[in-house]
A and B are shown apart, each in its own frame.
Chain A
C-alpha cells in the first residue's frame, strides 16, 4: 500500500512537471479569457496544480490531465469569486464559469482547452511593461518556467524575481492592459514587441551580459520554442519566420563558440565542422520562405546575414559584400548606429581595414559607451599595425564589458599584441586575420 502511494506520488509529480512545461500557456490563456484577471488566473491555476498533486498521488492520473486541471482551476475561481466582497461586479465572469463547469459535468468529459496563447503573449509583451518584466512574464506563463528557474537564468534572487512578477500582474490588472489581439493599426508594432522579447530571451542565453557562463542553452531553446509557437499562431508572417530562422542559424554555431576552457572563440577562428548542419538547413529553409513573401524586416535581414556566415566554407570565403549591403538595408529600415558598426566590420573584409576605420570615425560619438564599438575598433587598429592605439581601444572595451568570458578574450588580445612586440619590435603591419 505504501509503495503504491509513493509510486502514484512520483508519477503525479512527473506528470505535473511535464504539464507545467507543456500546458501552462494554454491553461492560463483559457482561464484568463473567463476570469479576466491575471493574478486571479495564476492563483487559481496554482491552486488547481496543488489539488492535482494531492488527488493524483492518491488516485492515479486522470485520463485528460490538462482538462482536469482547467476544470479544477475554474472551480477554484468560482470559489474565489464567491468569497470576494464586491461579488456582483464579477457576476458576468462568475456566470460564465458556472455555465462552463455545468457543461463539463453534463458531458461527463473534461473540458476542451481553447487556445488563447496569442492573446496571452500579446499581454505579456505589452509595450507598457518594462522589457525585462516582459521576458520574465513570458518565460513564466508561456514556457511554464518556475520563478526560481527564471531568477537563476537572470542571476537574480528568487525573491527579487518574484516581486517583479507580482508587480507585473498587478500592473496588468490595475492599469487595464487588455487580454486582446491588437487592432490592425497596432498589429505590426505590437507583433514586433513580442518578437523582440523572444529575441531578448534568446540573446540572454546566447551572450549572457552578466555572470560567468556565456552560453545558457536553456534560454536559447526556450526562445526557439516560443519562435515556433508564434509561427504556429501567426502563420505566414515574414518577420516571425525571420526571427525563428535567425535564432536557429545563430544557435547552430553554439558548440563552436566556446573552447574547452569556456572562452569565447571569434567567428573567424571557429571550427565550422562543429556547426549544426540540420539547424542551418532548417533556418535557411524558413528564411527563404520569409524572403519570398516580399515583406522585408529587420529579423529577416539579420537572419540573411547569419545564413551567409553559416553557408560560407570559411571566414575568407564569406560573401562580405552582400553582408555590407544587408547592414545598409537594415540601417534604412531602422536608423541605428550599431548597424553601421557591423557594416564597417564587414567592409573591412569586403574592402580594407583602413576603409572600415574611416567608417567607424563617423559613428564614434554615438557609440562611445558601447563595448563592441571599441572591441571592433581595436581589432581594426591591430590589423592596420596601429598597435598602441589598439591596446588603448582594447582597454576601453574591457572597461565597458559586463561578462568575464568577453573580458578574458579581450585581455588575451592585448597579451598577443605585447608578445608580438617582444618578438619583433619593428614588426610590419599584422596579417589581415588571425
Chain B
C-alpha cells in the first residue's frame, strides 16, 4: 500500500539554522531517507518552502481566484512529505516515526486512495 506522510510543525519549534542542533537534525533527515531507499519503501519525499510563499487557488463560476497564503491558517504548518510503499500501516508508522520533525511536530500518515 502507498502512504503519504505529511510533516507538520509550528514555525520555530525545531532547531534553527546556524545552531549546533541544526546539523544533527538535518543529518537525521539524510539518514532516514537513506533507510527508506535501502528498504525499498521510498516513492518520493520533498521539503516545502514556508507557508508565506503559498498561494491558494479556487475556481468559482469558471473564474480562477487566487489568495495569498495557505489554505488554512494553523499553528502547525505543512513543511514537507514522504511517500512510502509499505506492507501495512504498522510499517508506515515505523518509517514515519523516523522523520526527525516527529520529535517536535506531527506527522500525519494517510493511505493513498486506490482509484480502480
Contact = CB atoms under 8 A, between A and B. Distances in A.
Interface of A: 85-86, 126, 128, 174-178, 180, 182-183, 186
Contact of A86 (B86, B92, B93, B116): B116
Interface in B39-95: 86-90, 92-93
A170 to B, nearest CB: 11
A174 B90 contact: no
Contact of B111 (A175, A178, A182): A175
Contact of A128 (B93, B113, B116): B93
A178 B93 CA distance: 12
A85 B89 contact: no
Given A174-B113, A176-B3, A186-B90, 12 more contacts: A86-B116, A126-B89, A128-B93, A174-B111, A175-B89, A176-B89, A177-B88, A178-B88, A178-B89, A178-B90, A180-B88, A182-B90
A178 B111 CA distance: 13
Nearest to A173: B111
Nearest to A126: B89
Given A128-B93, A175-B111, A176-B111, A85 B88 contact: no
Contacts of B87: 176, 178
Interface of B: 1, 3, 86-90, 92-93, 111, 113, 116
8 contacts: A174-B113, A176-B1, A176-B3, A176-B87, A176-B89, A178-B87, A180-B90, A182-B90
Contact of A177 (B89, B113, B116): B89
A178 B88 CA distance: 6
Which are the 6 A-B pairs with shortest beta-carbon distances?
A178-B88, A176-B88, A176-B1, A176-B89, A177-B89, A175-B111
Nearest to A127: B93
A85 B1 contact: no
Which one of A85, A86, A128, A175 has the highest number of Cβ atoms from chain B below 10 Å of its Cβ?
Answer: A175
Nearest to B90: A178
B82 to A, nearest CB: 16
Contacts of A85: 116
Contacts of B1: 176
Contacts of A183: 90
Nearest to B1: A176
Nearest to B2: A176
Contacts of A180: 88, 90
A306 to B, nearest CB: 34
Contacts of A128: 89, 93
Contacts of B3: 176
A186 B92 CA distance: 14
Contacts of B90: 177-178, 180, 182-183, 186
A85 B116 CA distance: 9
A183 to B, nearest CB: 8
B108 to A, nearest CB: 12
A128 B107 CA distance: 13
A85 B89 CA distance: 25
Contacts of B111: 174-176
Nearest to A185: B94
B73 to A, nearest CB: 27
